Amino acid sequence: MEMLDLVQEYRNKLQTNPHDVSCLLFALQIPSVCSRIDFPQTPENTGKCEDGKFYRSNGKAWDANMYKAWLRKHHSHFMDIYSNSMTIEAFCDNLYELRNQVTHEGVLMSDKNKFYFIESDSAMSIGDIVFIPIKRLCEDMFDAAHNMLFNRHEFINITLFNDMLIPSEVFSQISNDVSKTYHSFWDNRPEDDNMLNCIYDHIIFDRPDMKNKIDEFFKNHPDNIFEIWDFGYKYGHIIDMDRRFIHQDYDESKSMICRDLKRETDVLRLTKKQYERMLQVVDELNDYSANHPFDITQYI
């Protein structure tokens, strides 16, 4: 889909419902998107934010500078909004603040706003406060974006597909290929390896403190069994039909579920040997993944 087509889609939505907040949310993002098209990175616009530059040395954008610069460049489209109430600089600052307020706080209007949206088709300004229909701001923004994109005489794709979604047949092919890739890793391994990897994902993957805790436990008690009572409640349930690692047991001194509900609970139990095997499997899987990277370019 091309950017022009997306702008037109939202313009059509606005005609159907002039109070459509989704159109406003999209309109408020347009300066961020279009400024990156309008102002490609150059040595001259790369540098410090406080110097008014558009890009960092690593290529990331100084969004506030670019957002406001794009509004200033296309200010003629917005004169019907700000000309009787504020300067162009104030308009840029206030609109950027509104965009951030909506995007990051989920708040459309507050007592700090300079823009208040109304149901009426007419607009009014009192001092530096503007009362405006959603449709007016959206139409001005869509017009500015359309003119900029049209006058560049080039196609700006926002997705490599015909619409915003990966086609079902492409996703099906991706799923099948990924499944085949990892089947070749798991097919010749015992089921215990798969289960241990699953347990790792539940308790350690994003919890380095848990790995440190288990390491310390086996360092001090190499012949003991590491346990996590109420495992499913704490970390999510894993189906272990053969109860190789996840067991059912009852002990009110160790389990809140046993104590409060008077029933058995699931308990993870690992020996040092099982834990070491778990880490080995995870390392081998990570190596395999690194050697078989997913390449999205094969499908687009």
Same domain, 174 and 288: yes
How does DSSP classify residue 86? S
Residue among 98, 16, 14 at smallest CA distance from 64 = 98
Q: Where are the alpha helices (DSSP H) in the chain?
A: 3-16, 21-38, 63-73, 79-82, 88-100, 134-151, 168-186, 191-203, 208-220, 231-235, 256-261, 272-291
Q: Which residues of 262-292 are buried (b: 16+ CB within 10 A; e: fewer)?
A: eeebbbbbbebebbebbeebbeebeeeeeee
Does residue 158 fall inside a structural domain? Answer: no
Q: Given this model, what pLDDT does residue 154 score?
A: 63
Range of the domain at 223: 168-298
Q: What is the pLDDT along the chain (300 residues), one digit of tens a residue?
A: 788 888 999 999 999 999 888 999 999 999 999 999 999 999 999 999 999 999 999 999 999 999 999 999 999 999 988 887 788 999 999 999 989 988 888 777 777 788 888 887 777 878 878 888 899 999 999 999 999 988 876 666 666 566 667 788 888 999 999 999 999 999 989 999 999 999 999 999 888 899 999 999 999 999 999 999 999 999 999 999 899 999 999 999 999 999 999 999 999 999 999 999 999 999 999 999 999 998 888 887
Q: Given this model, what pLDDT does residue 69 score?
A: 96
Residue among 195, 217, 197 at smallest CA distance from 205 = 197
User: Is the sign of the CA dihedral 155, 158, 159, 161 positive or negative?
Assistant: negative
Same domain, 147 and 9: yes
Does residue 34 fall inside a structural domain? Answer: yes
Q: Given this model, what pLDDT does residue 151 score?
A: 83
Domain count, the chain: 2
Same domain, 140 and 179: no
Q: Given this model, what pLDDT does residue 163 score?
A: 64
